[in-house]
Amino acid sequence: MSDNLLEIRSLSKALPAGPRQSAAMVLRDISLDIARGEFVAIVGPSGSGKSTLLYCMAGLEPPTEGTVTLLGQDLSGLGRKSAARLRRDHVGFIFQSYNLIPSLSAWENVALPAPLAHRSAGQSQIDAALAAVGLTEQAQQKPSTLSGGQQQRAAIARVLAMRPDVVFADEPTGALDAEAGAQVLDLLRTAATDDSSVVMVTHDLQAAARADRVLVLRDGAIHRELHHPSADEVFEAVTTPATRAV
Ligand SMILES: Nc1ncnc2c1ncn2[C@@H]1O[C@H](COP(=O)(O)OP(=O)(O)OP(=O)(O)O)[C@@H](O)[C@H]1O
Ligand SMILES: [Mg+2]
């Protein structure tokens, strides 16, 4: 088996034509690999297709053309149930809006996914996940009594407690102040280990510069790809006009 956790080949995504508009291409002919252990950031202007690409990578949106191979499995060849099982057992998602269950405590939110995946998560594993994100003291609090940064850290603990092979994060620091955002970023940085990868969509170019690789999307295509860039290099790549030679 290849070392790639994810392989995308010639992926395109069209939105269906409406009564007043022709079909629009949201993603155009994207091919890329994500290796095990990589921390990859996706940046680009609003509407450039970042979230759509992330959802296609995770098997939440089907591509119009092309293939997505996750952990050696071609997602288009899997039935809905098998795809859902693959996601449940190997994939974690972190959203800008946290998606915690309001009626449950932080501890109960973190404990929730394991039984759904028919896995046992010992009390100590849940405690350890909350300790890793610095929420031991807040374990019994409901989400409404936590700050935004604490809620996002609880959402990350919920994902990391499941030890996924890949974490997809869509604007995980988008609703946070600089300090809380930096804590969340540190957690994601350490979540990319030898075995696990992290793919993060972000508007924050400083955050993107923490990644091993940065993909710059423009009009649904990969405009630039940077390895271990500085924040200035990411800024330059995002702002360089598509028509100018680089
Ligand atoms: N279900 C949908 N129906 C109609 N248009 C959609 C749908 N999903 C995405 N789009 C369009 O596809 C394009 C890309 O959207 P996407 O959400 O992937 O962009 P993005 O780069 O994540 O933007 P942002 O930074 O604002 O989150 C946009 O023009 C958007 O309006
Ligand atoms: Mg988006």
How confident is the model over 168-227, as pLDDT tens digits?
999 999 888 888 889 889 999 998 988 899 999 999 999 999 999 999 999 999 999 999
User: Which residue puts its alpha carbon closest to atom 18 of ligand 1?
Assistant: 49
pLDDT at 2: 61
CB 225: neighbour CB atoms within 10 A? 13
Nearest ligand atom owner, CA of 47: 1
- Helical residues (DSSP H) of the chain, grouped into ranges: 50-57, 80-90, 106-111, 113-116, 123-132, 148-160, 178-191, 205-208, 231-239
| Single pTM value for the model | 0.91
Integer Cα distance of 188 and 152 in angstroms: 11
Residue 243: pLDDT band with limits 50, 70, 90: low
Binning the chain into helix, strand and coil, the percentages to the nearest 5 are: 35, 25, 40
* Residues, Cβ < 5 Å to ion ligand 2: 51
For 74-87, what is the mean pLDDT? 89
Report residue 86's pLDDT band, with 50, 70 and 90 as the boundaries: very high
Which of 13, 15, 57, 60 to mutate for ligand 1's pocket (most ligand atoms within 8 Å of CB)? 15
Fold of the domain spanning 4-12+24-239: Rossmann fold (3.40.50)
- The residue extents of the domains of the chain are 4-12+24-239
